[in-house]
Amino acid sequence: MKSTKKDSFADVIRPVDNCNAEGVHGCTTCKKAITVQLRIVDEVVADAGGKAEGCFYSRQCLAALINMVKGKSIYDLYPLTNEDLRPALSVVKDDYDCDVFTIGALKLALRDWEKKAAA
């Protein structure tokens, strides 16, 4: 069976078992949510995943981010921007903001982890 563009990221984009950080950001382009889930162990991202309900570009952005953050210290992730994400994308759509909102979802997940760790 041929893989379509829509499901080509299925092996990367998936829910994370025992995630302890989650960030959800709505995308203004397609009006759908991008969810980033992290499992952080000893301040390092042990696993990453999530869900992109929108277009191919949002799924591509989330898949690239997931591959980028695994194994990284959370302190290396705080300064990330969409410009850091763009080189990992096969197609960059300047008129779409999915890359910005994917990074936004990551930042919200990191804040979620901080709140839980402080409790």
Domains and CATH numbers, the chain: 21-118 (3.90.1010.10)
**Coil/strand/helix, residue 96:** coil
Question: Is the CB of residue 103 less than 8 Å from the CB of residue 82?
Answer: yes
Burial class, 79, CB count within 10 angstroms (exposed 0-12 / middle 13-18 / buried 19+): exposed
**pLDDT for res 7:** 55
Query: Tens of pLDDT along 47-57?
Result: 999 999 888 89
- pTM across the whole model: 0.91
Query: Tens of pLDDT along 15-39?
Result: 999 999 999 998 877 789 999 999 9
**pLDDT for res 2:** 43
**pLDDT for res 118:** 92
Which of 63, 64, 70 shows the shortest CA–CA distance to 84?
64
